[in-house]
Amino acid sequence: MATYVLIPGAGGDSWYWHRVVPLLRERGHEVVAVDLPAGDHSAGLADYTEAILAAIGGRTGLVLVAQSMGGLSAPLVCARIPVELLILLNAMIPKPGESGGEWWVNTGQAEAAAELAAREGRPGDFDPAANFFHDVPPEVTAEAFARGGPDQSGTPFEKPWPLDRWPDVPTRFLQGRDDRLFPVEFQRRNARERLGLEIDEMPGGHLVALSRPAELVERLESYRAAAGLH
């Protein structure tokens, strides 16, 4: 069976995937949920890449799933080792030479999120509970907040993204249509302009691995099967 490598977003906490991991293992797959050095202010994207590679070890048949900020580091892994399939989930899509910090301005993320908030009649200021956990079950939200907000250093956002092109790996893009941080229209435009890809949509917000793990696993498995992976 496949080896799913699950790369978290900002905060770098493998706990984000804790509702998805057992569902994939029940289907017979090997699953690696990665912890990243998000709280280490000396760690940049190169260090994140090395952490993912170390977690993978010698495993093969790799399906990488990259959540949000994980979109910056997952392609760097694909440039280093054979990867069968890359699945971007509510992810950032970097451009060669663009830093993670520049991405926010270059893509117009703040304007897109503000426009969505205005359409939905929500305040425009950032609120983690409202922006991230609006569709997450209360008990999962309570556990997340009890764990404390994950640290995320700004270091990985400072340097230009180092690849000169997107790696030659089959890539799919799955977007939660209720994402308040990266609105679906915003992501549709980014995927077309930056990768020439059409996105797929599913119900759910930015944290679909916490809010809709079973449906997410069905989507991941459909991509794996379509790619001819066993």
Mean pLDDT of 162-188: 98
Contact 32, 55 (CB under 8 A): yes
Look at residue 85 in the predicted model and tell me its pLDDT: 98
pLDDT band at 151 (very low <50, low <70, confident <90, very high): confident
Find tokens 């990266």 and name the residue. Answer: 182
pLDDT computed for residue 218 by the predictor? 98
pLDDT of the residue at 124: 81
How far CA 53 is from CA of 45, 56, 62, 104, in Å, comes to 12, 5, 11, 27
Tens digits of per-residue pLDDT, 30-67? 999 999 999 999 999 999 999 999 999 999 999 999 99
Q: Give percent of the chain with pLDDT exceeding 90.
A: 95
The answer to whether residue 149 scores a pLDDT higher than 80 is no
Q: Residue 3 belongs to what H/E stretch?
A: strand 3-7
Instruction: Report the pLDDT value the prediction gives residue 1, as an integer from 0 to 100.
Output: 84
| Mean pLDDT score of the chain | 97
Return the percentage of the chain with pLDDT > 70, whole number.
Answer: 100
- Whether the per-residue pLDDT at 230 is higher than 90: the answer is no
Asked if the model's pLDDT at residue 141 lies above 90, the reply is yes
The predicted pLDDT at position 34 comes to 98
Residue 79: what pLDDT? 98
Question: Which CATH code is given to the segment(s) 3-226?
Answer: 3.40.50.1820
What pLDDT shows up at residue 148? 83
When pLDDT is averaged across residues 84-94 and rounded to a whole number, the result is 98
The pLDDT value given to residue 73: 98
Could you write out the DSSP letters of every residue in 155-223? GGGTSBP--SS--SS-EEEEEETT-SSS-HHHHHHHHHHHH--PPEEES--TTHHHH-HHHHHHHHHHH
184-217, pLDDT tens digit by residue?
999 999 999 999 999 999 999 999 999 999 999 9
CA gap 185, 179 in Å, rounded: 10
